[in-house]
Amino acid sequence: MTPDEIGQRMVALLAPVEATASLSGGQRHARATVDVPLASWRDALRAARDDAELHCDFFDWLSAVDELTEGFDVVAHLWSTRHRHGLLLRTRVPREAPVVASVVDLFPGAAWHERETHEMFGLAFDGHGDLKPLLLPPEFEGHPLRKEFVLASRVAKPWPGAKEPGESEAGGGRRPMRPPGVPAPGEWGSA
């Protein structure tokens, strides 16, 4: 099946739910990407796994993208070991209520990915049962992959080694730039 056919098959399986198929990547790396409503997330992953034409039996990865005021996009990549094609499924989770259904009972390999996404983005996976910290120390506060997360270490002490953009031995050049989300030196902590 071509990526277009994979996307259309997924949309047909979910009907009457409004799902939208598109392509990610290009040329030989193109993947069918199907956007599904949040309420249909589990049904979409189950349909991709159980349909004989898609047969996406291998759970590759799951993560999220912070889209700021629009919420979070949760993305899962599935692969068919029989047909050798991939499928990206994506849903939008509102920022005010960042909860999505867990798919660990459908794909046990999703457990680690859901824990990481919970820890890094602050999304809850309803039905997971074990969203304990995975990568960060227990005393860590916040969710470091959210776009509003302040990279405090860059403010507290300068980056070691290489010069910051705009700095040079000869002087002149551009003015120093701060990474996105890092307040001016006088606004937070010590400089």
Cis (ω within 30 of 0) for the bond into 138?
no
The DSSP bridge pattern shows strands 58-66 and 31-35 to be unpaired
Amino acid at 12: A
Listing DSSP states for 69-109 in one string gives: GG-EEEEEEEEETTTTEEEEEEEEE-SSS-EEE--TTT-TT
Give the per-residue pLDDT at 163: 59
Taking 70 as the pLDDT cut, the residues of the chain under it are 152-176, 179, 185-186, 188-191
- Residue 134, exposed/middle/buried by CB under 10 A (0-12, 13-18, 19+)? middle
pTM above 0.85, yes or no: no
Phi, psi of 77 (to 5 degrees): -110, 120
Give the per-residue pLDDT at 140: 85
Give the per-residue pLDDT at 76: 97
Give the per-residue pLDDT at 178: 72
For residues 98 and 121, the answer to whether their CB atoms sit within 8 Å is: yes
For residues 129 and 105, the answer to whether their CB atoms sit within 8 Å is: no
**pLDDT tens-place string over residues 50-96:** 999 999 999 999 999 999 999 999 999 999 999 999 999 999 999 99
The separation between the first and the last C-alpha atoms of the chain, rounded to the nearest angstrom, is 56
Give the per-residue pLDDT at 46: 97
For residues 19 and 8, the answer to whether their CB atoms sit within 8 Å is: no
Give the per-residue pLDDT at 169: 57
Listing DSSP states for 122-136 in one string gives: --EEET------SSS
Give the per-residue pLDDT at 191: 43
Contacts of 157 (CB under 8 A, 6+ apart): none
Helices marked H in the chain — which ranges? 3-14, 41-50, 110-121, 152-156
